[in-house]
Amino acid sequence: MTKKLIIFLFIPLTLIMSQNGENKLNNPFFKKWKTPFETPPFNEIKNEHFLPAIEEGIKLEKAEIDAIINNQEKPTFKNTIIALEKAGEFLNRVNRVFGGLNGANTNDEIQKIARVTTPMLSKHRDDISLNEKLFQRIKQLYEQKDVLRLNSEEMTVLKNYYINLVRNGANLNEQGKEKLRKINQEMSMLGLKFSENALKETNAVGLLIDRKEDLEGLTEDIINSAAESAKSKGQEGKWAFTLQKPSFIPFLQYSTKRDLREKVFKAYINRGNNNNEFDNKKIISRMTALRVERSNLLGYKTHADFVLERNMAKNPENVYKFLHDLWKPAVQRALMEVDDMQKIIDNEKGGFKLEPWDWWYYAEKVKRDKYSLDEEMLRPYFKMENVREGAFKVASKLYGIQFIPRKDIEVYHPDVDVFEVKEANGKHIGIFYSDYYPRDGKRSGAWSSGFRGQSNIEGKYIAPLVYNVGNFSKPTTDKPSLMSIDETNTLFHELGHGLNSLFSNNTYPGAKFMSRDFVELPSQIMENWALEPEVLKMYARHYQTGEVIPEELIQKIVNSRLFNQGFETVEYLAASFLDMDWHMLTDSQERDVVEFEKESLKKIGLIPQIESRYQTTNFSHIIGGYSAGYYSYIWAAVLDADAFEAFKGTGNLFDKKTADAFREHILSKGGIEEAMTSYIKFRGREPKVDALLKRRGLN
CATH label of the domain that carries residue 347: 1.10.1370.10
In a domain, 314, yes or no: yes
Query: For residue 453, what are the domain limits?
Result: 380-559+632-696
| pLDDT for res 697 | 92
**Residue 184 domain flag:** no
Type and span of the H or E element at 647: helix 632-648
Known catalytic residues are 494
Residues 523 and 430 in one domain: yes
pLDDT for the residue numbered 289: 98
**Cα–Cα distance, 557 to 68 (Å, whole number):** 59
Q: Which of 551, 252, 503, 512 is nearest to 375 (CA)?
A: 252
What distance lies between CA 284 and its chain's CA centroid?
Answer: 20
- Taking the C-alpha atoms of residue 127 and residue 185, their distance in angstroms, rounded to an integer, is 12
Query: Is the backbone of residue 7 left (phi > 0), alpha (psi -120 to 50) or beta?
Result: alpha
What is the DSSP code (8-state) at residue 318?
H
* Cβ–Cβ under 8 Å, residues 665 and 546: no
517, part of any domain: yes
For residue 476, being part of any structural domain is answered with yes
Q: How far is CA 336 from CA 359, 365, 375, 575, 691, in A?
A: 13, 15, 21, 21, 21
Tell me, letter by letter, the H, E, C secondary structure of 340-354: HHHHHHHHCCCCCCC
| pLDDT for the residue numbered 4 | 30
- 138 and 227 in a single domain? The answer is no
- Do residues 206 and 244 lie in contact, with contact meaning Cβ atoms separated by under 8 Å? no
Same domain, 39 and 120: yes
Q: Are 472 and 490 in contact (CB under 8 A)?
A: yes
Report yes or no on 190 lying in a domain.
no
Q: Are 207 and 248 in contact (CB under 8 A)?
A: yes
Last residue of a domain, one of 605, 623, 641: 623
* 438 neighbors 240 (Cβ within 8 angstroms): no
Residue 151 main-chain phi, psi, to 5 deg? -80, 175
Q: Are 647 and 575 within one domain?
A: no
DSSP type of residue 206:
E
Buried (b) or exposed (e) across 116-126, using 16+ Cβ within 10 A? ebbeebbebbb
Longest dimension (CA), the chain: 91
- Please answer whether residues 306 and 298 qualify as being in contact, where contact means their C-beta atoms are separated by less than 8 angstroms: yes
* Sheet strands side by side (includes 428-435): 402-405, 417-422, 428-435, 465-469, 447-452
> Are residue 393 and residue 477 in the same domain, yes or no?
yes
Note the pLDDT of residue 699: 84
* pLDDT tens, residue by residue, 415-437: 999 999 999 999 999 999 999 99
CA pair distance 622, 396, nearest whole angstrom: 34
Q: Are residues 548 and 589 in the same domain?
A: no
Residues 584 and 539 in one domain: no
- The count of other CB atoms within 10 Å of the CB of residue 486 is 12
Does residue 244 fall inside a structural domain? yes
8 Å CB contact between 432 and 441 = no
Structurally, how many domains does the chain consist of? 4
**Is the domain of 611 the same as that of 663?**
no
b/e burial code for range 435-462 (CB count within 10 A of at least 16 → b): bbbbbebbbbbbebbbbbbbbebeeeee
Strands 428-435 and 465-469 turn out to be parallel
* Structure confidence at residue 11 (pLDDT): 31
In a domain, 547, yes or no: yes
pTM higher than 0.75: yes
Q: What is the CATH number of the domain that holds 136?
A: 1.10.1370.40
CA distance 558 to 351: 34
Using a 10 angstrom Cβ sphere, with 0-12 exposed, 13-18 middle and 19 or more buried, the burial of residue 323 is buried
Q: Which of 269, 285, 320 is the last residue in one of the domains? A: 269
Please say whether the beta carbons of 77 and 150 come within 8 A.
yes
pLDDT averaged per 10 residues in sequence order, the chain, 699 residues? 29 37 81 97 98 98 98 98 98 98 98 98 98 98 96 96 98 98 98 97 95 97 96 96 96 98 98 98 98 98 98 97 97 98 98 98 97 94 98 98 98 98 98 97 96 97 98 95 97 98 96 93 98 98 98 97 97 98 97 98 98 98 95 97 98 98 95 94 96 92
Q: Looking at the structure, do residues 553 and 608 belong to the same domain, yes or no?
A: no
Same domain, 328 and 425: no
440 domain-assigned: yes
Rounded CA-CA distance 516/633 in Å is 9
For residues 311 and 319, give the distance between their C-alpha atoms in angstroms, rounded to a whole number: 10
Q: Residue 22: its pLDDT value, please?
A: 46
- In terms of domains, do 88 and 63 share one? yes
- Do residue 610 and residue 655 come from a single domain? no
Grouping H, G, I as helix, E, B as strand and the rest as coil, residue 449 is strand
